[in-house]
A and B are shown apart, each in its own frame.
Chain A
Amino acid sequence: MLTHYLKTTLKQFSKSPSFSFINLFGLATAMAVCLIIFLYVYRELSFDRFHEQAENIYRISLHADMQGEELYENVSSPAMGPDLVEAFPEILDYARMSGRQTLSIWQENSFITVEKTHYADSTFFEFFSFELLRGNPHTALVEPYSVVVTETLAQKLFPDQDPMGKPIRLDDDTRKYTITGIAADCPPNSHIQFELLRSFETLIVNRQGVFTEWDANLSYHNYVKLLNDTDLDDLLKKTEELTYEKVNYKFEGMGVKITFGYFPLTDIRLRSPFGNELEEAGTLWKVWVFSLVALFVLFIAGFNYVNLTIARSGKRAKEVGMRKVLGAHKKALKKQFYLETLFLTGISFLGALILAEIFLPFFNQLLNTNLQLLNIPWWGLLLSVIIFVGVFGLLASIYPAWYMASFHPVKILKGEFWSKPGRFQPRNLLLLIQFAVSLALIVCTLVVFLQIRFFQQKEHGFNEKNLLVVRTESREDARIFMNAMESFAWIEKQSISTTFPGGPSYMEGIVAENVEPGFMAHRLWVDEHFMQTLELNLLEGRNFERADGLENENALVNQALVRQAGWTEPLGKTIERGGRTYSVIGVIEDYHFQSLHQEIEPLLVNTIDSRPDFMSTPYWVQVRYKETGSPDVLLSVQEKWEALFTGNTLRHYFISDHLHLQYATERSFGRLFQAFTLLAIIIAMLGVLGLSSFAAQQRQKETGIRKVMGASTSSILFRMSGEFLKWVMVGAIIALPLAYWYMDKWLSGFAYAIDFPYWTMLAALSGVLALALVIVTTQSMQSARANPADVLKTE
C-alpha cells in the first residue's frame, strides 16, 4: 500500500510540475525564513550562556538620582568588586573589565590597529569560560604589562611564529608588554568581545585613576558571581546600606542618591536598558518580532498550500471517486493525502535548506549577524524536521485530506463536487489578512524610506561635505597638527573646537541676563576660524577675532538660545556661568550640532582659550579640504599624524559619514520593513494565485453558461477579478488606518520629520491591486477563454 501511495504521489508531482513547483516554492520559502529566524532566535537566546554558572553571574549597574535627573549606567567604580566580595559572603568572586579602547600595536615600522582591547582582572579566565588556548588561566593576567591576545590577532601579529612570551609595544607606551596567553576568538554569542586584554595590574602600577572610592573612576564593568539561590532582594538591601556608608552619606541633603543593582549576565543581550553597551543589546523586541513573523509566515504558507491543494482537487475528483467506488475508506484516502503532503513538506524542507543558505547573507547583512546554517544544533535540525515536515505537514494536510476524502462518489460521477460558491469562507478571511498585512507593510516601508531620505537631504545648517575632524588630546597638540597641515595645498580652512557636529555634547546650566530661572545650554569652545570652517551663518554681530585672552569674556549664541532667553536685542546681553560673565557679540543661525532626532537646543560658544583647564575632554581639529584636486585626504593626514605623534592612533571622522551613521537605526528599521514587505507580498500573491485558480475551476460551469448566454471574455474576467479586488479593498479599510496611526506615531518621535505622506496609501493600494489583478486575470483567462461546449460537456 505504501509503495502504491508513493508511486501515486510521484505521479501527481510529475503530472502538474508548475503546481507542484508553486507549492514547493511557497513552502520552502516559508521554511527557509523560519529556519533563519530559528537560527537568529537561538543565537540571541544563547547569549552569554556558555559561561559556567552563567545564571549566577551579574554585572553591577548604577542608578543615580541627581535632583530629579536620573542616570542609568552599566559601569561602576573598580573599587566595588573587591569591596563587595569582602562585605558579602554570598558574592563569591568578581572580575573587572575596563571600557573598550582602540590601540595600535607596533611592529618595527608598521602598526596594526586593534579595536577591541580592555584591561581585565587576573581572575578573568577563571571567572568567565572564555577558552585560553595557551598560557595559564590563573596567572596569564597577574603580572603588570602582561597581555592576552586572541588566536586571530596572534596569527596577524606573529604569523608562523610562537607568540607566547613575545614582547609587543602598544600605542605610545614606552614599556613593553609580554604576551602571556592566547585566547580562542570570542564566541559570537558573547556580549564581551575582545581581541586583546591587558592585565588590570598594569593600570594599578601606573596609578591610572582611583581604585578605592565607589564614586570615582566610574568606567569599569564589575561582574560578580553569586552563591546558588542567593536572595537578591536581601543582597540589594545590604548593598544599599553599604552604598550609604561608602558614598551616599556624602550627598545627604543635596538631593543626590546613588543606587547599585545586579543585572543578570544572561539578560544583557536581550534586556539591557543601557545605551552604552559595547555590542548590540536590548534585542528582545527583535526576537519577538521575528518569532511572530516566523509563525505568521508558516501559518500563511500552510494556508496557501491548503488553498492550492483544494484548488487542484477538482482535477483529482475522478481519481478519488473511483477509489471510493472500488472500496477505499475515507481513512485510506486520508492516509494517502497525508503521505502526499508529508512527501511534499519533506522535499520542501530540503529546498528550504538550500534557500536558507542563499538567503542567509542577506539576513546577516540586515541583522548585522554572522549566522550560518552549520551552526544549527543537531536537536534544532531534528526539531525543524519534526515541526516542518511532521507537524506542519500533518496540519496542512488535514483539511485537504478531509475535503477530498469527503467527495461523494455518486456526486463525483455526476460531476458535482464543489462546495457552493459565494459564502464567506475562512479562506477569504485569511486572504483579507494577507492583503491587509501587505498593504500596511508597504505603507510603513515607504514612510521609513521617505523619512530617511528626508534626513539625508535636510540641510544641517552647515556644510557637511569635505569636512574631516581629527581628535587631539590637548590644545597644543591641535595647534601643532594644524600648523603641520598648512603645508597641504588642498586644505581650505582649519579650526579647533571641543566637539564637532554630531559629536559628544556637553550641557551646563546658564543664567541669561534678565531671565529667571537659568536654563540648560550646550557649551562649545572654538577658535576664530570655526564659523568659516563649518560655513555657519552669522545673523548679527561679529565673530571672534582671535581665540586668546582678549575675547575670553565674549560669547556667540545660536538663535535657539536667544529664543529661550526671550531677548529681542541679544547683542551686548550677558550670560553667567561658573562665576564668569560672558557678553554676547554675535548670533549664529541655528544649525544641527546634534542629530536630526533632536531639536536644535540653546548653544553657548566661547573661545577655546577660555575653556577651564580641569576639563579633560579632547580637542577636535576640523579640516575643510578642497573638493577638487584633493589627493587621498585620509592617507596624507595619517602620514602627517604619524610623523607628529608616533605611536598614537589617529582618531578621525568624515562628518558626512558620521552623520550618515547616526541614522543607522532608521536604515536598519527600513531594511527590516523592506524584507518583511517583500515576504508579505510574495506570500499574499501566492495566496491570490491559489485562490484565483481555485475560483476559476470552481466557476467553470458558471463561466461556460455565461458564455453561452453571450458574455464576453472581458466581462467574465472583470467579474472574476472583482471578487478578489473586493478583498483588497476591505484589507485596505482595515490596514491603512492602522499603518497611518503607527507611522504617524513613529514620525512624531523625530524632532524633524516629514508630514505623513498620504499618497503612500494610494500607492500601496494601487500596487497590490495591480499585482492581484495581473495574477487573477492570468488565472481566470484560461477559464474565461475556454470553449463553453467543452466545459459543459465535462460537467
Chain B
Amino acid sequence: MIKSVDLTKVFRTEEVETTALNKVSFEIKEGEFVAIMGPSGCGKSTLLNILGLLDNPSGGEYVFLEQEVSNYSEKQRANLRKKNIGFVFQNFNLIDELSVFENIELPLIYLGFSASERKKRVEEVLEQMQIMHRKNHFPLQLSGGQQQRVAVCRAVVAKPHIILADEPTGNLDSTHGDEVMNLLETLNKNGTTIIMVTHSQRDASYAQRVIRLFDGQIVTEDKATEFVLSSTTQ
C-alpha cells in the first residue's frame, strides 16, 4: 500500500541545510497498524507529513496506492489525500467556529457528497463513536477526549484507506488516551491501515510494528510486542 525508497527531506534556509529524513526505506501493507517512534527532531512528523501527502520529499521514491507520488502537485496530492487519508492530530485541530456535526461533515463537502448523504454518513459515524448527543456542540464545549473522538470521527467519515495519527493521545489523560487507542484498534481490525507517530510506548503497543527513527534514519523496525518486551527487559 505504501512504499518508500530512499526517501529524503532536506530543509534549506539561506545559510543552513538540515536533513530531516535521510534515505528512509520501508513498506506498509494494507491493514497494518504501524507506529513511528523516535526522539524529538528525529524526523517523525516530517515523515508523517510526506506519507500524508501534505508535503513532497526532496528525494527518493514514495509509492502510495501503487502510484509514484513524490512529484505530485499540490492539487494532485489534495485529490489523493481527500479520498484515501484520514488525519488525527495531537491538538485535535477542530475548527472552533463549526459544530461537531459540521466539523465531521467537512471532508465529505470537499468530496462532493450531497447534503443528505453527508447527513447519513455523519450520523452513522456519530452513532458508532457514541457522541450523537454532542452533534450540535462546538469543540470548545467538549472535553479533550471528546474532541479527539470527534477528530477521529472526522478522520473516518469518508472511509479512508489509511489513518495517519500524530501523537493522538499527547494531549489526553490515560483514560481518554486508552479510549482513543481502542477506537484506532477497532478501526484497524475493521480493515483500516493506521500509521501513528508517538512518543508513548503504551500507545505503540497497540501497533503491530514499530519503525524507530533517529536523526532522520530508520534505526530499527520491529514487531511492537518484541519492542515492548525488549524495552521492559532492559
Q: Is the CB of B93 within 8 A of A327?
A: no
Among the 9-residue stretches A315-323, A396-404, A574-582, A759-767, the one with 4 or more Cβ atoms under 8 Å from chain B is A315-323
Q: Return 23 A-B CB contacts under 8 Å, by A number.
A: A4-B102, A4-B105, A11-B98, A318-B95, A319-B95, A322-B94, A322-B106, A325-B52, A325-B54, A325-B81, A326-B87, A326-B106, A326-B107, A326-B154, A327-B82, A327-B83, A327-B107, A327-B111, A328-B78, A328-B82, A329-B78, A329-B110, A409-B54
In the bound complex, residues from chain A placing their C-beta under 8 Å from that of B95 are 318-319, 322-323
Tell me whether A15 and B97 are in contact in the complex, defined as CB-CB below 8 angstroms, given that A4-B109, A410-B55, A413-B89 are known contacts: yes
Tell me, yes or no, whether B219 is within 8 Å of chain A by CB. no
- Which of B78, B79, B107 neighbours the largest number of chain A CB atoms within 10 Å of its CB? B78
Closest to A11 in B: B97
B-facing residues in A9-50 (Cβ within 8 Å)? 11-12, 15
Q: Is the CB of A319 within 8 A of B97?
A: yes
B-facing residues in A252-277 (Cβ within 8 Å)? none
Tell me, yes or no, whether B49 is within 8 Å of chain A by CB. yes
Contact with A along B104-120 (1 / 0, CB 8 A): 01110111100100000
CA–CA, A15 and B52, complex, Å: 31
In the bound complex, residues from chain B placing their C-beta under 8 Å from that of A11 are 97-98
In the bound complex, residues from chain A placing their C-beta under 8 Å from that of B52 are 325
Tell me whether A330 and B75 are in contact in the complex, defined as CB-CB below 8 angstroms, given that A318-B93, A318-B95, A413-B93 are known contacts: yes
CA–CA, A318 and B140, complex, Å: 14
Q: Is the CB of B97 within 8 A of A410?
A: no
Shortest CB-to-CB span from A231 to chain B, Å, is 64
Closest to A321 in B: B93
B-facing residues in A305-323 (Cβ within 8 Å)? 318-319, 321-323
Q: Is the CB of A1 within 8 A of B49?
A: no
CA–CA, A710 and B52, complex, Å: 41
Tell me, yes or no, whether A3 is within 8 Å of chain B by CB. yes
Tell me, yes or no, whether A332 is within 8 Å of chain B by CB. yes
5 closest A-B pairs by beta carbon, nearest first, are: A327-B82, A327-B110, A11-B97, A326-B107, A319-B95
In the bound complex, residues from chain A placing their C-beta under 8 Å from that of B83 are 327
Tell me, yes or no, whether A225 is within 8 Å of chain B by CB. no
CA–CA, A591 and B71, complex, Å: 89
Shortest CB-to-CB span from A664 to chain B, Å, is 56
In the bound complex, residues from chain B placing their C-beta under 8 Å from that of A323 are 95, 106, 110
Q: Is the CB of B110 within 8 A of A326?
A: yes
Q: Is the CB of B54 within 8 A of A332?
A: no
A-facing residues in B57-87 (Cβ within 8 Å)? 74-75, 78-79, 81-83, 87
CA–CA, A567 and B97, complex, Å: 90
Q: Is the CB of A8 within 8 A of B93?
A: no
Q: Is the CB of B110 within 8 A of A322?
A: no
CA–CA, A325 and B115, complex, Å: 21
Tell me, yes or no, whether A324 is within 8 Å of chain B by CB. yes
In the bound complex, residues from chain A placing their C-beta under 8 Å from that of B96 are 318
Tell me, yes or no, whether A651 is within 8 Å of chain B by CB. no
Tell me whether A327 and B75 are in contact in the complex, defined as CB-CB below 8 angstroms, given that A322-B93, A413-B89 are known contacts: no
Beyond the given pairs A4-B105, A4-B109, A325-B87, 4 more chain A to chain B contacts, judged by CB atoms under 8 angstroms and listed by A's residue number, are: A8-B97, A318-B95, A321-B93, A327-B83
Q: Is the CB of A3 within 8 A of B111?
A: no
Shortest CB-to-CB span from B161 to chain A, Å, is 14
In the bound complex, residues from chain A placing their C-beta under 8 Å from that of B89 are 413
In the bound complex, residues from chain A placing their C-beta under 8 Å from that of B115 are 3
In the bound complex, residues from chain B placing their C-beta under 8 Å from that of A332 are 110
Shortest CB-to-CB span from A405 to chain B, Å, is 10
In the bound complex, residues from chain B placing their C-beta under 8 Å from that of A327 are 78-79, 81-83, 107, 110-111
In the bound complex, residues from chain A placing their C-beta under 8 Å from that of B82 are 326-328
CA–CA, A413 and B154, complex, Å: 17
Tell me, yes or no, whether A176 is within 8 Å of chain B by CB. no
Number of interface residues of B (CB under 8 A): 29
Q: Is the CB of B98 within 8 A of A328?
A: no
Q: Is the CB of B109 within 8 A of A1?
A: yes
Tell me, yes or no, whether A7 is within 8 Å of chain B by CB. yes
In the bound complex, residues from chain B placing their C-beta under 8 Å from that of A319 are 95, 97
In the bound complex, residues from chain B placing their C-beta under 8 Å from that of A15 are 97
CA–CA, A15 and B138, complex, Å: 13
Q: Is the CB of A410 within 8 A of B54?
A: yes
Shortest CB-to-CB span from B45 to chain A, Å, is 8
In the bound complex, residues from chain B placing their C-beta under 8 Å from that of A3 are 115
In the bound complex, residues from chain A placing their C-beta under 8 Å from that of B105 are 4
CA–CA, A53 and B10, complex, Å: 76
In the bound complex, residues from chain B placing their C-beta under 8 Å from that of A318 are 93, 95-96
Shortest CB-to-CB span from B115 to chain A, Å, is 7
In the bound complex, residues from chain A placing their C-beta under 8 Å from that of B98 are 8, 11
Shortest CB-to-CB span from B63 to chain A, Å, is 20
Shortest CB-to-CB span from A486 to chain B, Å, is 86
CA–CA, A330 and B82, complex, Å: 13
B-facing residues in A376-422 (Cβ within 8 Å)? 409-410, 413
- Which of A15, A322, A330, A410 neighbours the largest number of chain B CB atoms within 10 Å of its CB? A322
Shortest CB-to-CB span from B94 to chain A, Å, is 8
Q: Is the CB of A410 within 8 A of B110?
A: no
CA–CA, A321 and B52, complex, Å: 14
CA–CA, A321 and B54, complex, Å: 10
Shortest CB-to-CB span from B130 to chain A, Å, is 23
In the bound complex, residues from chain B placing their C-beta under 8 Å from that of A409 are 54
- Which of B49, B109, B112 neighbours the largest number of chain A CB atoms within 10 Å of its CB? B109
Closest to B154 in A: A326
Closest to A328 in B: B110
CA–CA, A327 and B110, complex, Å: 6
A-facing residues in B188-214 (Cβ within 8 Å)? none
Shortest CB-to-CB span from B83 to chain A, Å, is 8
In the bound complex, residues from chain B placing their C-beta under 8 Å from that of A8 are 97-98
B-facing residues in A474-523 (Cβ within 8 Å)? none
**Contact of B97 (CB < 8 Å), options: A12, A324, A330:** A12
- Which of B49, B54, B55, B96 neighbours the largest number of chain A CB atoms within 10 Å of its CB? B54
A-facing residues in B122-161 (Cβ within 8 Å)? 154
CA–CA, A329 and B110, complex, Å: 8
Tell me whether A7 and B81 are in contact in the complex, defined as CB-CB below 8 angstroms, given that A1-B109, A332-B110 are known contacts: no
Q: Is the CB of B102 within 8 A of A7?
A: yes
Closest to A325 in B: B87
CA–CA, A319 and B103, complex, Å: 10
Closest to B111 in A: A327
In the bound complex, residues from chain B placing their C-beta under 8 Å from that of A4 are 102, 105, 109
In the bound complex, residues from chain A placing their C-beta under 8 Å from that of B109 are 1, 4
CA–CA, A1 and B113, complex, Å: 9
Shortest CB-to-CB span from B137 to chain A, Å, is 15
Shortest CB-to-CB span from B113 to chain A, Å, is 10
- Which of A8, A12, A325 neighbours the largest number of chain B CB atoms within 10 Å of its CB? A325
Closest to A322 in B: B93
Closest to B86 in A: A326
Shortest CB-to-CB span from B169 to chain A, Å, is 17
CA–CA, A563 and B154, complex, Å: 96
In the bound complex, residues from chain B placing their C-beta under 8 Å from that of A1 are 109, 112
In the bound complex, residues from chain B placing their C-beta under 8 Å from that of A7 are 102
In the bound complex, residues from chain A placing their C-beta under 8 Å from that of B55 are 410
Shortest CB-to-CB span from A685 to chain B, Å, is 29
Shortest CB-to-CB span from B116 to chain A, Å, is 13
In the bound complex, residues from chain B placing their C-beta under 8 Å from that of A322 are 93-95, 106
In the bound complex, residues from chain B placing their C-beta under 8 Å from that of A324 are 78
B-facing residues in A31-79 (Cβ within 8 Å)? none
Closest to B46 in A: A410
CA–CA, A3 and B118, complex, Å: 13
CA–CA, A421 and B130, complex, Å: 47
- Which of B49, B55, B106, B154 neighbours the largest number of chain A CB atoms within 10 Å of its CB? B106
Contact with B along A324-346 (1 / 0, CB 8 A): 11111110100000000000000
CA–CA, A7 and B81, complex, Å: 25
- Which of A324, A327, A409 neighbours the largest number of chain B CB atoms within 10 Å of its CB? A327
CA–CA, A413 and B52, complex, Å: 13
In the bound complex, residues from chain A placing their C-beta under 8 Å from that of B97 are 8, 11-12, 15, 319
CA–CA, A7 and B103, complex, Å: 13
